[in-house]
């Protein structure tokens, strides 16, 4: 344990010195007393004792060495010295630490988001062995012929077959592709039915993920057979909020969509399923899908592809071999199913059918898909900010190293090793970096929280400063400290001893005509700032393009509210009447200009399409004639603000029993009816002529989905004519006279007046729904802009520092010039000229880098090819103005130099 004592000696070096001094004093006193006893005078005795002892300083030094680690002791001394220096220059320390805090804080904040969003792993056992059969977030059901190519979704039959095969998978679980909203009543409570989210999963789902219940048990394969009693596992959140965290709730009954489910367990607090989002409230066995979704069963329907699969690899198995084996099993199954008379086409399709396995350790995350690209850009941006911050602090230190030239020269002359000196300087840099890092972490917590609020409020993503984030910060801080510490250390390393000790007055002839280290750093800062400014203006313009883009509808003053008659027990026969009454009620509201209904609105993220045919249109070979189907109510064009180009809008006439009619968009007309008059033309979704639909109106093109893609052919069908499952959920749309938000309660109440049992979602403005689609663009624009401004600020501080330093160095020269008759404005120009040179070189370096960077981010830009003239000139303009301001102050100072004073200072 002697090292422990030594460490103590190292850390408390001073205390041990004091103790040694006492010990030594005792020795000398005793020796003196002895000499006195032998007859010396006290004075003689004292001197003799001291002589006898030898060098007390050396003894103290050697004792201290014995008590401590020498190298560590040096570090301790270096550190103490560095702290003293910082305390002596609080202004310098504050600027350096603040600058570093910005750089390190920005990196920590972005990394904490990257860590939370991109790197976090599912809170399950050995997540690395999980595999997903799709990386997409799309959910739903497809029915009909089997998928071709890569299979994202599976039928019950295929799932059961694959699960029974000897694959390199330890287990294979299925989840319903998408959870459902259900109505839940908890017996014993006086409350009305509440809405909740339920997700049907296979009995081995929890075992496959490796999650055990926090209380009670999870689902088991025994729960699956239709004969088994319905059971449900609830999420921790549901248990806490709705079941009041009551352990007695396990074993009680919840009425879900009218069926009694026994609650058998609660999942762990951090568990949310295989998708990174708010956890469903209930997990129920797959076989209960008809109860949960209130629709005919998919379980026994072999052409319904409604399941997503999650597998756990056997130990040692790879994804590739598991994918190959599963694909072979799938193809074998399909061949058997196709039977003996297998057509050549079908055989080729089967040959092409395969599964793709994706790394499941992070689960499926919509946020990850949406934000990974902007986050990557932000990572690069904050790295640039940190570089600029490092350049700034490096510059400050360099300036100080120049000022400390004499001190350093003296120390060298007294025999200090250069290595020792460099270590001293690096210790100072690392101390600064550490302080900046601490301040940065504190700042990062706020920035990260703000960032996360922009990204998502409900997803189980934490952008907290956790262990990995701190580790990252420590690494970044160390690198930063070494980076900006290098400049002054290198300076000390090659310092000319004699020159340093000589007078330090007068111009430095070596500096003229070429860039010194400080100037190089400033040029780099200007170039980096320009890149960030150009990036920020590109993102801002892209966002403006996205938001100003005419999408063909008018999102202002429009309020939306989804309602779900299915949960209130409506069937196909009764639904049309409900929709009609809701529409009439809404249209009569005082604040409402016009009202309509639809199955989904633009930018809602929903879509529904079907293959069909258009009379008179012959599909090209391989063309799949497919159009989107939106079911709408009366007054649709005026409520959404989509112009009616020809014919009439759907109205009250188009109800059950009336002729089948539809509106189509202009793309539909352009694509299929280029040569025919659209009005009166017919199209259909099946081959029966009596089911054909007549086009009565043509609407202007409106973008419903990704603005980066062209508008698809869309058909608008009468909602009140529809008797299928499609019509059992709808959305009320009202165009309000005033602010749509103020009409929200009115809208909710109106639907409740018609039927209080119909659940209504919170109304939200169409404007918000549209803007949500640009959240990643907004994130990029805001934060690249924010960090660009930071970079500009730091660069201008750096420029100011260098110009001021130059003026200070040349004060004498300026004084001489003024004394010899130079005009003040000559002096001003002299200072500005230097600034202009630095800025010009920085811009010259920055422009090509900006073009290269713009190419890298072009996929994130909307309506912009590459760097355009206005973005570039705007950025350069901002940069030059800020540089001019930064140079103006020292230039003024230079112009005010008093020649007499400057010369006397010699």
Partner 1 sequence: MLRRHRKPDHLQGTLDLLVLKTLSRGPQHGYGIATHIEQITGDVLRVEEGSLYPALHRMEQSGWISASWSLTANNRRARLYRLSRAGEKRLAEEEAKWNRLTAAVGKVLSYAQ
Positions touching partner 1 (CB under 8 A) are 1-2, 5-6, 19-20, 22-24, 26-27, 29-31, 34, 52-56, 58-59, 62-63, 65-67, 69-71
- Which one, 54 or 339, has the nearer CB to partner 1? 54
- Which one, 54 or 415, has the nearer CB to partner 1? 54
CB of 22 to partner 1, least distance (A): 7
- Which one, 26 or 901, has the nearer CB to partner 1? 26
CB of 68 to partner 1, least distance (A): 9
Question: Which class for 700: exposed (0-12), middle (13-18), buried (19 or more C-beta within 10 A)?
Answer: middle
- Which one, 30 or 222, has the nearer CB to partner 1? 30
CB of 76 to partner 1, least distance (A): 14
- Which one, 19 or 347, has the nearer CB to partner 1? 19
- Which one, 63 or 183, has the nearer CB to partner 1? 63
- Which one, 19 or 905, has the nearer CB to partner 1? 19
CB of 423 to partner 1, least distance (A): 15
- Which one, 20 or 832, has the nearer CB to partner 1? 20
CB of 21 to partner 1, least distance (A): 11
Q: Which residues contact 574 (CB under 8 A, 6 or more apart)?
A: none
Q: Where would I find the beta strands (DSSP E) of 625-779?
A: 626-632, 644-647, 661-665, 682-684, 693-699, 714-718, 730-736, 764-765
CB of 70 to partner 1, least distance (A): 5
Count H helices and E strands in the chain, helices first: 28, 25
Let me know the angle formed at the C-alpha of 465 by 463 and 468, rounded to the nearest 5 degrees: 100
Q: How far is CA 708 from the centre of its chain?
A: 21
Token pair 């009693």 is found at 229
For 513: left if phi > 0, alpha if psi spans -120 to 50, otherwise beta; the answer is: left
- Which one, 49 or 532, has the nearer CB to partner 1? 49
- Which one, 63 or 871, has the nearer CB to partner 1? 63
- Which one, 70 or 855, has the nearer CB to partner 1? 70
- Which one, 52 or 160, has the nearer CB to partner 1? 52
Distance in angstroms (rounded) separating the CA atoms of residues 441 and 474: 10
- Cβ proximity of 694 and 659 under 8 Å: yes
Distance in angstroms (rounded) separating the CA atoms of residues 270 and 252: 23
Let me know the angle formed at the C-alpha of 226 by 220 and 231, rounded to the nearest 5 degrees: 45
CB of 75 to partner 1, least distance (A): 12
- Cβ proximity of 854 and 538 under 8 Å: yes
Rounded alpha-carbon distances, angstroms, from residue 49 to 28, 30, 37, 179, 668: 6, 9, 13, 92, 111
CB of 18 to partner 1, least distance (A): 12
CB of 31 to partner 1, least distance (A): 7
Distance in angstroms (rounded) separating the CA atoms of residues 425 and 486: 9
- Which one, 29 or 128, has the nearer CB to partner 1? 29
Distance in angstroms (rounded) separating the CA atoms of residues 592 and 583: 12
Distance in angstroms (rounded) separating the CA atoms of residues 570 and 183: 14
Distance in angstroms (rounded) separating the CA atoms of residues 255 and 215: 20
Let me know the angle formed at the C-alpha of 238 by 237 and 244, rounded to the nearest 5 degrees: 95
| Cβ-count burial 73-95 (b if 16+ within 10 Å, e if not) | bbebebeeebeebbeeeeebbeb
Rounded alpha-carbon distances, angstroms, from residue 714 to 141, 610, 652: 20, 10, 21
CB of 46 to partner 1, least distance (A): 14
CB of 7 to partner 1, least distance (A): 11
- Which one, 14 or 160, has the nearer CB to partner 1? 14
- Cβ proximity of 558 and 765 under 8 Å: yes
- Cβ proximity of 798 and 773 under 8 Å: no
CB of 62 to partner 1, least distance (A): 4
Distance in angstroms (rounded) separating the CA atoms of residues 25 and 138: 83
Closest by CA position to 454, among listed 111, 784, 779, 766 = 779
- Which one, 58 or 414, has the nearer CB to partner 1? 58
Tokens of 759: 């659940």
Distance in angstroms (rounded) separating the CA atoms of residues 758 and 561: 12
CB of 53 to partner 1, least distance (A): 5
- Which one, 22 or 407, has the nearer CB to partner 1? 22
Closest by CA position to 107, among listed 537, 436, 459, 482 = 436
- Which one, 50 or 450, has the nearer CB to partner 1? 50
CB of 427 to partner 1, least distance (A): 18
CB of 851 to partner 1, least distance (A): 55
CB of 42 to partner 1, least distance (A): 16
Q: What pairs with residue 559 in β-bridges? A: 734, 765
Phi, psi of 598, rounded to the nearest 5 degrees? -155, 165
CB of 35 to partner 1, least distance (A): 12
Q: How far is CA 678 from the centre of its chain?
A: 46
Helix (H) or strand (E) holding 613: strand 613-614
Q: How far is CA 784 from the centre of its chain?
A: 13
Q: What is the DSSP string of 103-127?
A: HHHHHHHHHHHHIIIII---SSSSG
Distance in angstroms (rounded) separating the CA atoms of residues 475 and 470: 9
CB of 15 to partner 1, least distance (A): 13
Tokens of 733: 């749309």
Rounded alpha-carbon distances, angstroms, from residue 731 to 5, 589, 629, 712, 726: 75, 17, 15, 21, 12
- Which one, 420 or 653, has the nearer CB to partner 1? 420
């Amino acid at each position: 344990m002697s090292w422990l004592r030594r460490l103590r000696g190292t850390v408390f070096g001073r205390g041990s010195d004091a103790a040694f001094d006492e010990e030594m004093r005792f020795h000398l006193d005793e020796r003196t007393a002895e000499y006195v006893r032998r007859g010396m005078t006290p004075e003689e005795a004292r001197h003799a004792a001291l002589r006898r002892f030898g060098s007390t300083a050396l003894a103290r030094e050697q004792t201290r060495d014995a008590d401590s680690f020498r190298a560590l002791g040096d570090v301790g001394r270096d550190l103490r010295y560095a702290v003293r220096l910082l305390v002596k220059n609080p202004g310098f320390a504050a600027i350096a630490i603040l600058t570093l805090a910005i750089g390190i804080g920005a990196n920590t904040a972005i990394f904490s988001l990257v860590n939370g969003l991109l790197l976090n792993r599912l809170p399950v056992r050995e997540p690395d062995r999980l595999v997903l059969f799709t990386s997409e977030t799309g959910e739903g059901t497809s029915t009909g012929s089997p998928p071709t190519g890569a299979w994202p979704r599976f039928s019950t039959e295929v799932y059961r077959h694959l699960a029974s095969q000897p694959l390199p998978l330890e287990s294979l679980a299925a989840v319903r592709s998408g959870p459902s909203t259900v109505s839940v009543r908890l017996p014993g409570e006086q409350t009305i039915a509440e809405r909740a989210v339920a997700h049907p999963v296979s009995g081995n789902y929890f075992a496959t993920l490796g999650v055990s219940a926090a209380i009670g048990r999870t689902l088991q394969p025994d729960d699956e057979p239709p004969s088994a009693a319905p059971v449900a596992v609830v999420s921790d959140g549901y248990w806490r909020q709705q079941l009041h965290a009551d352990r007695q709730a396990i074993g009680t009954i919840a009425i879900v969509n009218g069926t009694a489910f026994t609650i058998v367990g609660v999942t762990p607090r951090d568990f949310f399923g295989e998708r990174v989002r708010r956890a469903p409230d209930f997990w129920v066995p797959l076989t209960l899908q008809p109860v949960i979704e209130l629709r005919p069963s998919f379980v026994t329907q072999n052409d319904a592809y409604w399941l997503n699969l999650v597998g756990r690899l056997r130990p040692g198995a790879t994804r590739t071999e598991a994918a190959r084996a599963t694909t072979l099993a799938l193809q074998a199954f399909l061949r058997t199913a196709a039977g003996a008379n297998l057509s050549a086409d079908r055989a080729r399709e089967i040959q092409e059918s395969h599964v793709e396995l994706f790394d499941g350790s992070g689960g499926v995350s919509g946020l990850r898909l949406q934000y990974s690209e902007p986050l990557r850009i932000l990572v690069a941006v904050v790295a640039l900010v940190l570089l600029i911050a490092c350049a700034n602090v490096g510059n400050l230190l360099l300036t100080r190293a120049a000022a400390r030239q004499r001190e350093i020269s003296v120390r060298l002359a007294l025999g200090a090793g250069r290595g020792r000196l460099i270590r001293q300087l690096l210790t100072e840099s690392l101390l600064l970096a550490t302080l900046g890092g601490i301040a940065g972490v504190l700042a990062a917590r706020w920035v990260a929280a703000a960032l996360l609020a922009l990204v998502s409020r409900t997803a189980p993503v934490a952008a907290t400063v956790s262990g990995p984030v701190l580790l990252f910060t420590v690494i970044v801080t160390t690198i930063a400290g070494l980076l900006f510490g290098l400049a002054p250390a290198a300076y000390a390393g090659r310092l000319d001893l004699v020159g340093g000790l000589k007078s330090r007055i007068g111009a430095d002839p070596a500096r003229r005509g070429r860039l010194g280290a400080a100037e190089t750093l400033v040029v780099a800062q200007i170039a980096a700032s320009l890149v960030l400014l150009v990036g920020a203006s590109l993102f801002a313009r892209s966002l403006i393009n996205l938001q100003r883009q005419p999408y063909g509808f008018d999102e202002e003053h429009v309020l939306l509210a989804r309602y779900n008659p299915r949960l209130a027990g409506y069937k196909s026969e009764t639904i049309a009447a409900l929709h009609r009454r809701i529409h009439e009620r809404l249209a009569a509201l005082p604040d409402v200009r016009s009202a309509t209904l639809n199955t989904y609105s633009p930018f809602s993220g929903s879509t529904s399409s079907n293959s069909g045919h258009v009379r008179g249109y012959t599909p090209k070979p391989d063309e799949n004639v497919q159009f989107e189907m939106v079911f709408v109510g009366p007054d649709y064009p005026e409520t959404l603000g989509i112009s009616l180009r020809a014919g009439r809008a759907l109205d009250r006439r188009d109800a059950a029993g009336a002729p089948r009619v539809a509106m189509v968009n202009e793309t539909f007309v352009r694509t299929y009816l280029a040569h025919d008059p659209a009005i009166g033309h017919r199209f259909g979704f099946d081959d029966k002529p009596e089911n054909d639909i007549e086009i009565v109106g043509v609407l202007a093109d409106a973008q419903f989905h990704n603005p980066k893609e062209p508008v698809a052919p869309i058909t608008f069908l009468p909602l009140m004519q529809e008797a299928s499952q499609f019509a059992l959920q709808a959305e009320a749309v009202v165009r309000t006279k005033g602010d749509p938000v103020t009409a929200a309660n009115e809208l909710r109440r109106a639907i409740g007046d018609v039927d209080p049992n119909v659940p209504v979602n919170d109304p939200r403005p169409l404007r918000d729904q549209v803007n949500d689609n640009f959240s990643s663009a907004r994130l990029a624009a805001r934060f690249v802009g924010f960090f660009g401004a930071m970079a500009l600020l730091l660069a201008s501080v750096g420029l100011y520092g260098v110009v001021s330093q130059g003026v200070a160095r040349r004060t004498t020269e300026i004084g001489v010039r003024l004394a010899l008759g130079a005009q003040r404005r000559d002096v001003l120009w002299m200072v500005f000229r230097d600034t202009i040179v630095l800025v010009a070189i920085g811009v010259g370096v920055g422009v090509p880098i900006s073009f290269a960077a713009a190419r890298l981010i072009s996929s994130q830009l909307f309506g912009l090819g590459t760097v355009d003239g206005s973005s570039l000139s705007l950025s350069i303009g901002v940069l030059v103005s800020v540089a001019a301001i930064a140079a103006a102050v020292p230039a003024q100072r230079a112009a005010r130099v008093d020649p007499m004073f400057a010369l006397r200072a010699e």
